[in-house]
A and B are shown apart, each in its own frame.
Chain A
Amino acid sequence: MSSNTPQSGEGFAPAVDPSLPPWQRHKHQPHWRNNDDEYQGAKLGMWLFLTTELLLFSGMFCAYTIFRMLHSEDFERASHKYLDWEIGAINTVVLLISSFTVALAIRNAQMNQQRALKINLFITILCGLFFLFAKIFYEYIPKIQEGKVPGANFSYAGAESAYDPLFMSIYWVSTAIHGSHVVIGVGLLAWCLWVASKRRYGPTHYTSLENVGLFWHLVDLIWIFLFPLLYLVG
């Protein structure tokens, strides 16, 4: 799999030419043989990390599946009763757009389009912030005020079944874990924007940008499963 031939010019160049643009000055860490191996290793590591993220959410999906099998009618009713599919749909579209723009940003880096790279990253961050804004101010806060909170603290008077609080538990825990990933993702994207503003991404070096993009796609993908399972049941 790994090629052992040293790549010409890379790795042990005596000094980095300061007249080069910053993205060409990237030098791999000493234990790697060349920049390409370092890039491939980082990407493999990221895919492994995404696997662990998927398995983290699989626990929530598994709990959802079991309780929905046991109380399917209650879940279908609760889904319509407690959740507003329109806000969920808007957020889905927003996240899909952000996935598109982060993919464009990676392409911009590969094509050395520095200005477009920054614009696309900025749009991605705005989308992430919009998602959080809608989630918090149009879903979480009204629900807390109405007492539609998980488990034993559930105090909403209009509950029709004993399993309404359980549905809300699943909703809150899974969207909260997902929301925390959105927060982390926005933070990482902001860091990428900062790196991009220093012109350190370019055709030969965009490792961290691509890995953050992969993470953002996963966050999007999880939401694409959470949205129909929670909002569109029945």
Chain B
Amino acid sequence: MSASTHDDHHDVSYLHPKGGFFATVWDWMTTIDHKKIGVMYLFATLFAFFLGGVFALLVRMELFSPTKTIIDAVTEETVVTGQIFSPDTYNRLFTLHGAIMVFLFIIPAIPAAMGNFFLPLMLGAKDVAFPRLNLMSWYIYVTGAAFSLISILLGGVDTGWTFYTPYSIQGDEEHWRVVFMTTGVFILGFSSILTGMNFIVTVHKLRAPGMGWFDMPLFIWAIYATSIIQVLATPVLGVTVLLLTVERLFKVGIFDPALGGDPVLYQHFFWFYSHPAVYIMILPGMGIMSELIGVHARKKIFGYRAVAFSSLGIAAISFIVWGHHMFTAQGELASAIFSFLTFLVAIPSAIKVFNWVATLYKGSIALNTPMCYALGFLFTFSIGGLTGIFLGSLPTDLHLHDTYFIVAHFHYVMMGGTAIAFMGGLHHWWPKMFGKMYSERWALVGFALVFIGFNVTFFSQFLMGADGMPRRYATYVDEFMPFHRASTIGSWILALGFFVHLFVFVHSLIAGRKAPPNPWGGLTLEWTTDSPPIEHNFHHEPLVQHGPYDFDDVVPPHCDPADYPLPEPIESDSLKPGRTMH
């Protein structure tokens, strides 16, 4: 249409350096290009993932044997050299693992990294609605991360990632660092809010001509639902950690029972954000799943509208289930109500899983790395989701509360769900982001190691949790040793798998084959531009004339039609329900 007025020099890749080294660095530091900001978020979150992963490995190392092992050794050594490690080093390790993974990796990873990069591209827009705000939210993220790092460098926080009062507001020196961590979380919350606002306005106002709400890719629907939660829930976390900080600084007593306050109020506030935040973590992963399944099985997504609305349904239900984190800290009636409400979450989640499986039926499934991750997600996320039912029902929860069962459950959802989908999405979009193909064979090796390592690590935790192994202890009775050993060995396999992936990606950047614009034959708009995309995203403003998953009717752009022929028309219409649905 009328928008194709940009100059020729904008038709170069967004990765094209601007002059010398310092000029290029300055260009990246001040960029308002959503793609560059997305890439910067990607590397920052991957670094956080690495850091959180190191802490996780140290935690698993400690648990390799029933008594204290490495951490005692570290203590004796460091006492000699004059550095003092207090005995609760273990508590700090799992706190830092949790806080870094939650606040610095898993919440921003998909929305801020991939959402920033692909939301405008998939909508056919030139940028997000507020590009300068976008850059600002990146700097806010860096500032918040810096505060968290300061608290780590000063010796870390040992409260658990939930910062429960009254422990987190105790007056001794140890707990000073909590202030840095909560200030960091407060600042990170702003970054999350601004990103969410930006995405909502972008979806409302910057869709390409011809793209109605139900022509949007399902990844956009998922990011949109996520953004709603980010905007509505994060301010409550903001005021909660703000209160916690002033509590610690000025002893205002709102959460302190000694001063008339109520520590359980903190739990309510905290989980009113942090339960919806669980869906900030998983919904974008579900969005990636829809793209992976649709493109790599070459099938129209079964029940597009149901999948889209289930994202909004999950977002809505997420706000009324926070009490299930507090079954042992509230009245019986409240627990029963929250238990019932919690089961409602199963409905939209199951709609998604069933629809993905139904999409696979009679699809042309390519068993490449993205699809393998998608299938892995179906397996691990289903286990994570179904074990959630054990924890949502009151009688079993009383037994399983605060055991390794719950640790295994949320790792199956967060890692087996979000992180697996993140890896799948990274492989799916890597050629588009950096214009390079990766080694499919080695990526599959990495997938196999991650998948096996993950299940070995966490399935054993289900077993020992059901037997009563409590969470957050550095030592344990000998009976649990086989499970802990298996879990620790699994964590090594998992780490090896991620290092294989790191190798694959670095190799791809250095020596990868140049990626074509549309390596997988996708139909969404990001595949219609170059790989990597040009600075203004598209050579001409895109006009949307088909749905995002109409693989039965449309030959993908930039592809040899011989590679992706349209399927033979099927005479009996009973075989393909939904084929003519729009």
CB–CB B1/A6 < 8 A: yes
CB–CB A2/B254 < 8 A: no
Query: Quick one: which of A4, A6, A40, A166 contacts B253, CB cutoff 8 A?
Result: A166
A141 at the interface (CB under 8 A from B): no
* Beta-carbon contacts under 8 Å, B107-135 to A: 120, 125-131, 133
Question: How far, in Å, is A147 (CB) from chain B's closest CB?
Answer: 14
What CA separation (Å) do A32 and B541 show in the bound complex? 12
What CA separation (Å) do A51 and B233 show in the bound complex? 10
CB–CB B130/A52 < 8 A: no
Q: With A31-B125, A52-B235 as known contacts, state yes or no: A63 contacts B131, CB within 8 Å.
A: no
A41 partner residues in chain B, CB cutoff 8 A: 129-130, 201, 204-206
B239 partner residues in chain A, CB cutoff 8 A: 56-60, 177
Question: How far, in Å, is B522 (CB) from chain A's closest CB?
Answer: 23
Considering the complex, give the chain B residue whose CB is closest to the CB of A43.
B201
A19 partner residues in chain B, CB cutoff 8 A: none
What CA separation (Å) do A163 and B3 show in the bound complex? 64
Q: With A6-B1, A66-B265 as known contacts, state yes or no: A30 contacts B250, CB within 8 Å.
A: no
CB–CB A151/B253 < 8 A: yes
CB–CB A152/B261 < 8 A: no
Q: With A66-B262, A165-B260 as known contacts, state yes or no: A45 contacts B131, CB within 8 Å.
A: no
CB–CB B256/A151 < 8 A: yes
| Extra 5 A-B pairs, beta carbons < 8 Å, given A2-B206, A30-B536, A153-B251 | A2-B207, A31-B126, A33-B3, A45-B129, A48-B196
Binds B, one of A84-92, A125-133, A167-175: A167-175
B209 partner residues in chain A, CB cutoff 8 A: 4
Q: With A31-B126, A33-B3, A151-B252 as known contacts, state yes or no: A165 contacts B259, CB within 8 Å.
A: yes
Q: With A41-B205, A51-B231, A52-B235 as known contacts, state yes or no: A63 contacts B254, CB within 8 Å.
A: yes
Question: How far, in Å, is B234 (CB) from chain A's closest CB?
Answer: 7
Q: With A58-B236, A59-B269, A60-B239 as known contacts, state yes or no: A169 contacts B253, CB within 8 Å.
A: yes
Selected A-B contacts with CB under 8 Å, 12 pairs: A1-B204, A2-B204, A30-B6, A30-B536, A31-B126, A44-B200, A45-B130, A48-B197, A52-B231, A165-B259, A166-B261, A169-B254
CB–CB A48/B231 < 8 A: yes
Question: How far, in Å, is B5 (CB) from chain A's closest CB?
Answer: 5
Considering the complex, give the chain B residue whose CB is closest to the CB of A29.
B131
A76 at the interface (CB under 8 A from B): no
Query: Quick one: which of B234, B238, B250 contacts A151, CB cutoff 8 A?
Result: B250
B201 partner residues in chain A, CB cutoff 8 A: 41, 44-45, 48
What CA separation (Å) do A48 and B198 show in the bound complex? 9
CB 8 Å contact bits of A26-46 with B (1 = contact, 0 = none): 000111110001001110110
CB–CB A166/B254 < 8 A: yes
CB–CB A40/B205 < 8 A: yes
Q: With A37-B205, A58-B236 as known contacts, state yes or no: A45 contacts B197, CB within 8 Å.
A: yes
CB–CB A12/B2 < 8 A: yes
A12 partner residues in chain B, CB cutoff 8 A: 2, 5
What CA separation (Å) do A39 and B20 show in the bound complex? 38
B346 at the interface (CB under 8 A from A): no
Considering the complex, give the chain B residue whose CB is closest to the CB of A70.
B262
Q: With A59-B240, A66-B265 as known contacts, state yes or no: A52 contacts B193, CB within 8 Å.
A: yes
CB–CB B205/A55 < 8 A: no
* Beta-carbon contacts under 8 Å, B506-535 to A: none
B242 partner residues in chain A, CB cutoff 8 A: 177
B240 partner residues in chain A, CB cutoff 8 A: 59
**Which bucket holds chain B's interface residue count?**
35 or more
A53 at the interface (CB under 8 A from B): yes
What CA separation (Å) do A63 and B269 show in the bound complex? 9
B193 partner residues in chain A, CB cutoff 8 A: 49, 52
A157 at the interface (CB under 8 A from B): no
Question: How far, in Å, is B278 (CB) from chain A's closest CB?
Answer: 18
CB–CB B197/A49 < 8 A: yes
B243 at the interface (CB under 8 A from A): yes
CB–CB B260/A44 < 8 A: no
- Interface centre among A32, A169, A170, by most chain B C-beta atoms within 10 angstroms, is A169
CB–CB A150/B252 < 8 A: yes
A15 at the interface (CB under 8 A from B): no
B127 partner residues in chain A, CB cutoff 8 A: 31
What CA separation (Å) do A11 and B238 show in the bound complex? 39
What CA separation (Å) do A12 and B1 show in the bound complex? 13
What CA separation (Å) do A52 and B205 show in the bound complex? 20
What CA separation (Å) do A58 and B127 show in the bound complex? 33
What CA separation (Å) do A68 and B93 show in the bound complex? 39
Closest 8 A-B residue pairs measured CB to CB? A59-B239, A151-B253, A152-B251, A31-B126, A55-B235, A31-B127, A166-B260, A151-B252
Q: With A51-B231, A51-B232, A52-B235 as known contacts, state yes or no: A45 contacts B260, CB within 8 Å.
A: no
- Interface centre among A12, A49, A54, A63, by most chain B C-beta atoms within 10 angstroms, is A63
A162 at the interface (CB under 8 A from B): yes
B259 partner residues in chain A, CB cutoff 8 A: 151-152, 165-166, 169
CB–CB B250/A55 < 8 A: no
CB 8 Å contact bits of B241-276 with A (1 = contact, 0 = none): 011001100111110100111100100010000000
What CA separation (Å) do A59 and B210 show in the bound complex? 42
What CA separation (Å) do A96 and B201 show in the bound complex? 30
Q: With A152-B251, A169-B252 as known contacts, state yes or no: A48 contacts B262, CB within 8 Å.
A: no
What CA separation (Å) do A57 and B238 show in the bound complex? 10
B6 partner residues in chain A, CB cutoff 8 A: 30
Query: Quick one: which of B126, B204, B247, B265 contacts A30, CB cutoff 8 A?
Result: B126
Query: Quick one: which of B130, B197, B200, B250 contacts A153, CB cutoff 8 A?
Result: B250
CB 8 Å contact bits of A1-15 with B (1 = contact, 0 = none): 110101000011000
